[in-house]
Structure 1
């Protein structure tokens, strides 16, 4: 998997109330390791950057909701976030699966295994008999 596909940049959109929640969220998220947060152009937004190896948007949103933060979601935002949650979950689980054995790889293993062992295709011919022909 391309390592650049693991780095995500998302925009968190907070509700109008409570008024100081964007600042509190900025302070809280700034303390996380392997995580970047910056203020976005509008007052209710935070831009976040993270790696799927360490975080997921779903996990971050759940943790922030548990702390009392309120997000502003339209119906389209909910669909988009559901798709993002699914994609990040699949990417994270794919990191744990071993690289699949390809046909070329298994062929190399087969060749290396039988290089060491004589088999039916091998004929022992002495140097004298090969010169006689």
Structure 2
């Protein structure tokens, strides 16, 4: 995943759970030890018996990288449909946040007013009031 060129000073803290498959047994403590050696990554016991809780700054890590590293080391993650959907959603959200950090700041109000100005310049001017003249002069 591409990291932004300009990294903001404020941390973007994420807390996620990594859920492991039932088999092979005993992989959760080993994976927890492995993740504990990675810099700028906090590892704690997960909410479920087969889960590891991780906390990280999005500027330095993302869930996709962490889970990819675990899979490369031979650990088996939970592959239920719900886990796959949650994983895909989190990957998308984190990738979008990183992309938005790299995007240039554009003030919307200025660009919106410019769009209306350009549209008005192209519009033929004159009396465009659809109200009948007798109703306009009614007092």
Tell me which interval the TM-score lies in, with the shorter structure as reference length: 0.5 to 0.7
CA radius of gyration, larger in: 1
RMSD of equivalent CA atoms: 2.2
SS at match of 1:73: coil
- 1:101 offset after TM fit, Å? 4.2
The residue number in structure 2 matching 1:54 is 60
Structure 1 unpaired stretches of 5+: 105-133
**Cα separation, 1, equivalents of 2:104 and 2:40:** 25
> What TM-score results when the alignment is normalised by the length of structure 1?
0.68
Structure 2 unpaired stretches of 5+: 1-7, 111-139
> What TM-score results when the alignment is normalised by the length of structure 2?
0.65
Higher relative contact order (CA 8 A, sep 6+): 2
Structure showing the higher helix proportion among its residues = 1
**Cα separation, 2, equivalents of 1:37 and 1:21:** 15
The residue number in structure 2 matching 1:11 is 17
- 1:94 offset after TM fit, Å? 1.4
